[in-house]
Chain A
Amino acid sequence: MENTNREIAIKMTGVKKKYRLGQIGGGTLQADLQSWWARVRGKEDPNSKIGQEQRLVGQSFMALNGIDLTIYKGEAVGIIGTNGAGKSTMLKLLSRVTAPTEGEIDIYGRIASMLEVGTGFSPEMTGRENVYMNGAILGMTKAEIDAKMEDIIEFSEVRDFIDTPVKRYSSGMYVKLAFSVAAHLDSEIMIMDEVLAVGDVNFQQKCLQKMKKVATEDGRTVLYVSHNMSTIRQLCSRCIVMDKGRCVFSGDVDEAIAIYTSRNSVEIKKEYDVSSVERQFETTGKSHINRINIEKNILNLGEILSFELQTDAVADINNSLLRFVVFNQSGTVIGMAYSDLYDLKKGYNSHEFSFKTDVLAPGEYYVDLIQCEYDGSIQIRHDILNKVFAFQVEENEIQYNMKWNKYGWGPINFEKITVR
């Protein structure tokens, strides 16, 4: 990670943030005095508890549990992670809304943080007045805002309403105006927490492009938290994965997204015991898949995936069929395949299935299985298993000396085009 040629924008060393669990305030004056009195006498604090788990010590919770991170100037860094992984806490610390419990942060440059859209907007005031207000809160002087006012109004697309109180605005207009202010700040570092979610698609794209431009052309640093992987991919040059208050990965965006998404999913195995896997959707329960055995789960491009399903049925089911839904690593559905009709008899059944993977590009895939009965007019669902197993199409196949570009070329490897 050490790179001496580049200028550091943010450096975090051993940053921890502790929160107290449960109710804070209300009656704590007494407890505080008690603790204080105990400390004065050198006794043990009667209000502290000692817990077992490292992250959940007693009544406190480590939202950040030792973050070491260096971000360089001009980088657009994405931060991903599950809810509660500590993303927002980290941004809060960086934007100085709250202070760390331990550790040090060095920031080189001014920070414009947008943890929320339109912070400090007063509904009674007009758009223009709020631009001044919002800009000043974010650290601009009046002269700076005056100089940028025209750009801000132009970018926000709400010129016609700029002298109307913002309480009359639609939520989209509100976001547009607020983002415009933040985007036009003269700050060296920009922090965005999931703020684009509210705007329409066109505006989202516009914002992303603006941020990207800010990072690549003006050499500013962007920190961006989102659950929307495609915006992360579009904007960021580096990505950080956070989990349980730690930074578990930092580097290539695609790799980071892969790590983050597979964190929630199944590992690649040859045998899956799914008899007691919880079903997420309601079904008739007439059939129940117990085991999946896979002959070969790491395939070369174009190889056939063979798997065996062991199913218990409560009664004979004729005209069964299997729906096989394929998802890619980031959880996006790729496509679906039907099986031929087959019969299930009462009790134990075993069937072999073969799925042709020749259209799938190299990568890891997950599968939903839906076992149905076709009664001549409709399909009755008897068992549904979500993301139940995984397989991989290997990347070793090189076509004309090129590797498959997953994110540029998508997940489907169409049949070759014929030339006459």
Chain B
Amino acid sequence: MSNEAQQYHTHITSEHKWFDLKLKEVWQYKDLIWLFTKRSFVLKYKQTVLGPAWLFINPIMTSLIYTFVFGGIAGIETDGVPQILFYLGGNAIWTFFSTCLTTNANAFIANSNVFGKVYFPRLTTPISNVLSSVIQFGIQMILVLAFLVYYVATGVVHPNWIAWLVIPVVLLNLGIMGLGCGIIISSLTTKYRDLSILVTFGVQLWMYATPIVYPMSQIDNELFRTILMINPATAPIELFRYALLGQGEVSILGLVISWVFTIAVAVLGIMVFNKVEKTFMDTV
């Protein structure tokens, strides 16, 4: 028992070590991460008539609206890709990213009840948020694939099958980026609630600054192109579309920018998050 007790020695001080990311501890709680992920799905569709069918209805409706507004009214070209497929794909990947970001931006406030009563590595919550976004993305992809199969069979779309191997990397890239941005915001919202309101608006703005409802190739203006290239979400999304639909501009520089940004926000985010987690109960 004494060895065991030594093994579980915890030292608590007022000081905070900035570079202690506590990832090992998070790993010990992997079962909790999985339970949180499962719960987010179970709870979402309890007592709804259509249940998980909403996972399909939502993206279809959104894509139809995009097709109508951006394709039909605004007349944006989609480089020969059928509009509904273009928007379904874009919507799937953007929903993944934005869910990672917005759910995590609320991580502290939404869980303050539990956080205030019991300790577990708080990072489990954001990680499970990302995981449930991955699953949601997977489900949306079933829908995308259904359309894709039809268009591939009719010879309209030519995906780069080899490049599909990078899709998990794209998800990792966007997932960690969303997590990083989300938990930074979340850490700040414990004191400044304004940010949580700003997030909804900010994410929408970010979407329009990313080639989601339009392809990169449609942008001629140099300034806009530069802005889009600096936007760290652009490169992975273009890469995703390149693999999926055989359309899009893959920029190595853009991917480098994106990964540097991703790792920076993730490390910064986890540091800030771990710092705030220690005392946020006193301010939230």
Contact residues of A with B, CB < 8 Å? 7, 9, 19-20, 24-26, 28-29, 32, 73, 92-93, 95-111, 113, 115-116, 119-120, 122, 124-125, 129, 132-133, 136-142, 188, 219
Contacts and interface: CB of A to CB of B under 8 A. Distances in A.
B74 to A, nearest CB: 39
B114 interface: yes
A358 B46 CA distance: 68
B191 A105 contact: no
B39 A133 contact: yes
Q: Which of B13, B46, B115 has the most CB of A within 10 A?
A: B13
Given A113-B118, A124-B42, A188-B5, A101 B14 contact: yes
Given A122-B39, A133-B39, A188-B4, A105 B31 contact: no
A290 B100 CA distance: 72
Interface residues of B, number: 41
15 contacts: A29-B194, A95-B119, A96-B10, A97-B115, A98-B282, A99-B14, A104-B11, A106-B10, A109-B4, A109-B5, A110-B8, A111-B10, A120-B118, A122-B39, A124-B43
B113 to A, nearest CB: 8
Contacts of B10: 96, 105-108, 111
A73 B194 CA distance: 47
B225 interface: no
Contact of A219 (B1, B11, B16, B39): B1
Nearest to A102: B14
A296 to B, nearest CB: 53
Given A73-B5, A122-B43, A97 B11 contact: no
Interface in B105-134: 113-120
B281 interface: yes
A136 B12 contact: no
B14 A97 contact: no
A356 to B, nearest CB: 53
A108 B14 contact: no
Given A100-B14, A103-B14, A108-B9, A25 B35 contact: no
Contacts of B31: 136, 140-142
Given A97-B118, A124-B46, A125-B39, 13 more contacts: A19-B282, A20-B282, A25-B192, A25-B283, A97-B116, A97-B281, A99-B279, A111-B119, A115-B118, A119-B117, A136-B32, A140-B31, A219-B1
Given A98-B281, A113-B118, A133 B14 contact: no
A113 B191 contact: no
Contacts of A115: 117-118
B255 to A, nearest CB: 36
Nearest to A115: B117
B6 interface: yes
Contacts of A9: 5
Interface of B: 1-2, 4-6, 8-14, 16, 28-29, 31-32, 34-35, 39, 42-43, 46-47, 113-120, 191-194, 278-279, 281-283
Q: Interface residues of A: mostly helix, strand, loop or mixed? A: loop
Contacts of A116: 117
B271 to A, nearest CB: 15
A108 B118 contact: no
Given A97-B119, A108-B6, A120 B13 contact: no
Contacts of A98: 278-279, 281-282
B196 to A, nearest CB: 12
A69 to B, nearest CB: 13
Most chain A Cβ neighbours within 10 Å, of B10, B115, B194, B278: B10
B120 A139 contact: yes
B4 to A, nearest CB: 7
Given A25-B193, A105-B11, A107-B12, A120 B5 contact: no
Contacts of B35: 132-133, 136
Nearest to B119: A96
B22 to A, nearest CB: 12
Contacts of B43: 122, 124-125
Contacts of A28: 191-192
Contact of A99 (B12, B114, B193): B12
Contacts of A95: 118-119
Given A96-B119, A133-B39, A138-B118, A104 B6 contact: no
Contacts of B193: 25-26
Interface centre among B43, B115, B119, by most chain A C-beta atoms within 10 angstroms, is B119
B6 to A, nearest CB: 7
Nearest to B42: A125
A104 B13 contact: yes
A113 B42 contact: no
Contacts of B12: 93, 96, 99-100, 104-107
